[in-house]
Amino acid sequence: MPVNRQVKPHEVAAAYKELFASPAGKIVMAHLVAKFGFINKTTFVPGDPMHSAVYEGQRSVMVYIGQQLAFNPDDEPDHEAVREPQQEKVTNEGDW
């Protein structure tokens, strides 16, 4: 896909559903859930805010995937589109 193509939310959700419905997708999903599946449990690590933050980041990806798989096109207006992710510009440390 071209980098700047506008992708509608229902197209993204359909791609997630197609991907994770495939045999390979089911294997990947099982692996992701086993490795990063904080979906129904806490990410809090007492006394360790850094690990808590890392685990919450992992959890947020799993929640997002779950939202895409549960997406209903009737819930979102068709006029809203999302841009495909682009590679971020690398800046020198200290550049704001």
pLDDT (tens digit per residue) in 5-39? 899 999 999 999 999 999 999 999 999 998 987 77
Calculate the CA 76 to chain-centre distance.
18
pTM for the complete prediction? 0.70
* CB 65, CB 16: distance < 8 Å: yes
